[in-house]
Amino acid sequence: MARTGENIYHRKDLRWEGRYKKGRKADGSIRYGYVYGKSYEEVKEKLGPLRRHAQITLELYGKSVVEYDEWSQTWLAEQQKVVKPATYSSYLSKLRKYIWPHIGKMALYELDEATIHQMIQGWIQAGLSLSSIKVIFRIVKQSLKFAIQKELLQKNPCEWIQLPKGPKEKVHALTSNEQQRLEKVVSSEKDLRAKAVILAMETGMRIGEIAGLKWEAVDLDRRLIKVNHTYQRILSEAGDKTILHLGPPKSESSHRVIPMTSKLHQLLSGLKKEANSDFVFSVKQKPCEPRLLTYHFHRVRKKAKLEDIHFHQLRHTFATRCLEASGDTLNVSFLLGHDTPQLTAAVYFDSIVEKRIAVIGLMEKAQQNIA
């Protein structure tokens, strides 16, 4: 039973519990704090300073006493209305894994530049790549910008933070010899799902795009592939499990049309004759999930005696071969589904430089012939 007006209770486990107004939730309702003790007097003594501190804090900081983990869930709920399920899943995963452990239980008013810098250092020490840090930092910055819009904060502690810079992260494509070795192994494979390796190297499609590829998007007569689906494992809305999701590609630019090489046309024509599903790669009429395609990739790359490579490098291999052959950044960016040619140029800088060196060599040779 509670002592009148004091919010102190005698529990069934014989301990005493005291409750006080600790702050506010994101929806404006009261957040309570709790203390425990062996006697009424002990709990009452503990409650006094906690109540005074909470009252002063509320008067000073108002709505910004909301803890970051709760506020970011409010921001995430708003994002869910406008972003794709895969993007929502990515946000939630990064909040849980990289952000909440650092600042989740801090009130919004407690977040300052020093706190954010400390969190970034934690990411660096954990071995995260600079590109990953940029993505995670952007989530923090956007969620706090939303807090300003809702008048919970006056300024964004992320606004003037400069992220660390390091050497450009290079992509690693297979050499022509490695590519040939891998193709040779795949050509002898009886399991058709291993053929996804060839599709990746001949189109630059992402693994989720390959998993979600339907036969209706494969035009064998015109030798064209339409990329209009991706199939991937994402967190459920509740965030308590993962689910497989078939949806549109990651961005508008990812919707694209890719011409087939003769090699790919021959492969797909053969697969079509044996098809018993709407999907090019399937298991029991359902699309083959990416991790199964990854399993078959690692199985064949081991046979080809290739170490330390991952499926996404097949996409890099396609892009590198295209740029080595043409140097046409604009059209290669369209084939890859990049937002801009500048992104392609930045990612595949070395290949483009090599092509430009070759162009200068041809020019020099032509001038020598004239002389």
- 303-315 residue pLDDT tens: 999 998 999 999 9
Residues 181 and 262 placed together within one structural domain of the fold: yes
Residue 334 belongs to what domain range? 176-356
Residue 369 belongs to some domain of the structure: no
In the chain, how many domains are there? 3
For residue 252, pLDDT beyond 90: no
Which of 32, 61, 90 marks a domain boundary? 61
For residue 345, pLDDT beyond 80: no
pLDDT grade for 361, boundaries at 50, 70 and 90: low
| Contact yes or no for 130/171 (Cβ under 8 A) | no
Which of 150, 167, 194 marks a domain boundary? 150
Residues 245 and 303 placed together within one structural domain of the fold: yes
For residue 95, pLDDT beyond 80: yes
Residues 230 and 295 placed together within one structural domain of the fold: yes
At residue 244, what are phi and psi to the nearest 5 degrees?
-90, 135
Residues 321 and 195 placed together within one structural domain of the fold: yes
The pTM assigned to this predicted structure is: 0.73
pLDDT for residue 9? 85
Q: Give the C-alpha distances (Å, rounded to integers) separating 170 from 187, 252, 329, 332.
A: 30, 25, 17, 18
| CATH classification at residue 308 | 1.10.443.10
Residues 217 and 328 placed together within one structural domain of the fold: yes
pLDDT for residue 3? 60
pLDDT for residue 277? 93
pLDDT for residue 62? 56
Q: Give the C-alpha distances (Å, rounded to integers) separating 173 from 19, 293, 317, 330, 352.
A: 60, 19, 4, 20, 14
pLDDT for residue 2? 57
pLDDT for residue 203? 95
pLDDT grade for 242, boundaries at 50, 70 and 90: confident
| CATH classification at residue 81 | 1.10.150.130
Mean pLDDT of 362-366: 66
pLDDT for residue 68? 95
| Contact yes or no for 284/169 (Cβ under 8 A) | no
Residues 261 and 297 placed together within one structural domain of the fold: yes
Residues 325 and 180 placed together within one structural domain of the fold: yes
pLDDT grade for 331, boundaries at 50, 70 and 90: confident
Give the C-alpha separation, 144 to 133, whole Å: 17
pLDDT grade for 170, boundaries at 50, 70 and 90: confident
pLDDT grade for 371, boundaries at 50, 70 and 90: low
For the chain, what is the mean pLDDT? 87
Residue 255 belongs to some domain of the structure: yes
Amino acid identity at 93: S
In 179-211, which positions are buried (b, 16+ CB within 10 angstroms) versus exposed (e)? bebbbebbeebeebbbbbbbbbbbbbbbbbbbb
pLDDT for residue 240? 75
Residues 133 and 238 placed together within one structural domain of the fold: no
| Of 7-11, 205-209, 283-287, 327-331, highest mean pLDDT | 205-209
For residue 21, pLDDT beyond 80: no
For residue 362, pLDDT beyond 80: no
Give the C-alpha separation, 76 to 137, whole Å: 15
Residues 330 and 250 placed together within one structural domain of the fold: yes
For residue 327, pLDDT beyond 80: no
Query: What are 34's two structure tokens?
Result: 């709790």
Mean pLDDT of 49-65: 67
Per-residue pLDDT of 97-155, as tens digits, reads 999 999 999 989 889 999 999 999 999 999 998 989 999 999 999 999 999 998 888 89
For residue 183, pLDDT beyond 90: yes
For residue 205, pLDDT beyond 80: yes
Residues 245 and 321 placed together within one structural domain of the fold: yes
pLDDT grade for 61, boundaries at 50, 70 and 90: low
Q: Which range, of 20-29, 69-78, 131-140, 289-298, averages the lowest pLDDT?
A: 20-29
Residues 338 and 200 placed together within one structural domain of the fold: yes
Residues 73 and 218 placed together within one structural domain of the fold: no
